Each structure stands twice: as C-alpha cells, then as structure tokens.
Amino acid sequence: MGNSYPTRPIVLPLMLQRWHEICFFHWSCDPQLLQPRLPPGLRLDTFDGKAWIGLTPFLLTGLRPPLFPQTLGLAFPEMNLRTYVVGADGPGVWFFSLDAARFVAVLGARAMYGLPYFWANMRVHIGREENFYFSSRAGRAKTAIRIAKQERIREQSPLDIFLTARFRLYSVFRGRLITAEVAHAPWKLNRVRIVEFEERVRQTMRIGFESQDSLAHHSEGVDTEIGRPKRVTAEADYARTA
C-alpha cells in the first residue's frame, strides 16, 4: 500500500473469529460533542480535526477458542457502533454498542471484556453483487441496509486507513478501563453504492450528531485474533496529561 499501514501486533489469542462480508459506514462529527461520551483515560483520535463515528455490520463466523477447528465455531450477524480513541496503550476503538444475534456470544463478551453487547433480531444476506444487513434491537435501534459492491480500492487513502486499520479495543470492566489487542491481515477495501439505508442506532445511543462528511467501504473480511483483556494501569496519569 502506498500510504503507511500500522504494523499488525503479535497476539496470544483468547478468541478466534472471522469478520466476513463487512461494511464500514462513517460520519464525521465535532469532537467536543463526542468527547464527553468517553470514559476517563481516553481521548478522541481525530483526523484533520474531526472525530468519526462508525457503523459496521457483518457476518461473524468461526467464533471459537484457539486450537478448535473453524468448522466448529459459531456464526451469527453482528453490528457495532464505534469511534476512534487514543489511550495509554495506543490508538484503538471505543464501542458505544454491539448488536449480535447469538445470546451466548452477548453474555460471553460482556463477561470477559465488559463490552456493551445487546441481543438483536438480525439477518445478513450475502450475494455476488449485493449484501443486505438487517437488525432490530427490541424494536429499537433498527437498521436495514443494502449495498452494491464495487471496485477494489487499489491505494487506500490516509483516511481509509485511519478509519479501518485499528488493532486495539478499549472497554470498561468492573469500573476499570481495560484493553485488548486485535490482530488481522490488512483490510482489502472496496467501494460501495448504497441502495437502501435505514439506520436508527446512532439516535438510540444518543450520538446522532450532525455530520458534514460520510464515507462507506466494503470488504470480503479478515480472520481475526482477539487478545486477552488487561487493565490499563496508566489511565489516571494519561487522563491528566492528554
């Protein structure tokens, strides 16, 4: 890739999974509106002075512990609402919500990582030319998105990389800021044409801020290793100096 791509971390995985047929939808926003929604120890990671909110629906496949064959892993639709942050351990992702169609996965992710997972009625239809993503969380936070897949982005822009090449998550578990590394191959991104777009997740999570910019990508997906969670020990000092 022509632009600098972050180095993939070496992870001792706790979980393996594939993020299959994923879409990235992004909207810029005023950082001053979004920063109050973050916990102490994190600050927004901005691009040209703008914060970004992302919505990523996909089909999660092969969810399993290490050494288990991929064919025995769980598969279900998932969608997350997120922004981009910097903490004491480096840049990463902060999730406002994660919807999943498998209740055991919701319970497991909440128990291990403190992530704000919700069970939702979800469907993903994958076609050669179009994908359709549907989600409804107890009749709220409804999403219905249909995209047409287009050409590969041969050289990703710095903004493309900023919004997608993230190898760390942050969360709050039992009142403490924690983090985990995430490892996968570089994204192969495609352009998309939006055919249908209904989305109320941002409004439900109270981050439906006005935006002057939007961006959409598609990828066939990546195989992913999720590392073990660890406490961010420098969060207090980082919050004072950020």
Residue by residue, DSSP assigns the chain as --S--PPPPP--EEEEEEEEEEEEEEEEE-HHHHGGGSPTT-EE--BTTBEEEEEEEEEEEEEE-TTS-GGGSEEEEEEEEEEEEEETTEEEEEEEEEEES-HHHHHHHHHHH---EEE-EEEEEE-SSEEEEEEEETTEEEEEEEEEEEEE-SS--HHHHHHH---EEEEEETTEEEEEEEEEPPP-EEEEEEEEEEE-HHHHTT-----S-EEEEEEEEEEEEEE--EE-TTHHHHHHH-
Task: Give 237's pLDDT tier (boundaries 50, 70, 90).
Answer: very low
So what's the pLDDT on residue 71? 87
Taken in order of first residue, the domains within the chain and their CATH numbers are: 24-241 (2.40.400.10)
- pLDDT value at 173 more than 60: yes
So what's the pLDDT on residue 170? 98
Mean pLDDT, the chain, whole residue set = 95
- pLDDT value at 240 more than 70: no
More confidently predicted of 66 and 238: 66
- pLDDT value at 116 more than 70: yes
Task: Give 233's pLDDT tier (boundaries 50, 70, 90).
Answer: confident
Give the separation between CA 120 and CA 79, rounded to whole angstroms. 10
- pLDDT value at 156 more than 80: yes
Contact between 134 and 150 (Cβ < 8 Å): no
So what's the pLDDT on residue 147? 98
Percent of the chain with pLDDT over 70: 95
What does pTM read for this prediction? 0.94
- pLDDT value at 2 more than 90: no
So what's the pLDDT on residue 190? 98
Summarize the confidence of residues 123-147 as an average pLDDT.
97
- pLDDT value at 125 more than 90: yes
Give the separation between CA 229 and CA 12, rounded to whole angstroms. 11
- pLDDT value at 47 more than 70: yes
Task: Give 176's pLDDT tier (boundaries 50, 70, 90).
Answer: very high
So what's the pLDDT on residue 50? 98
Q: Beta partners for 34?
A: none
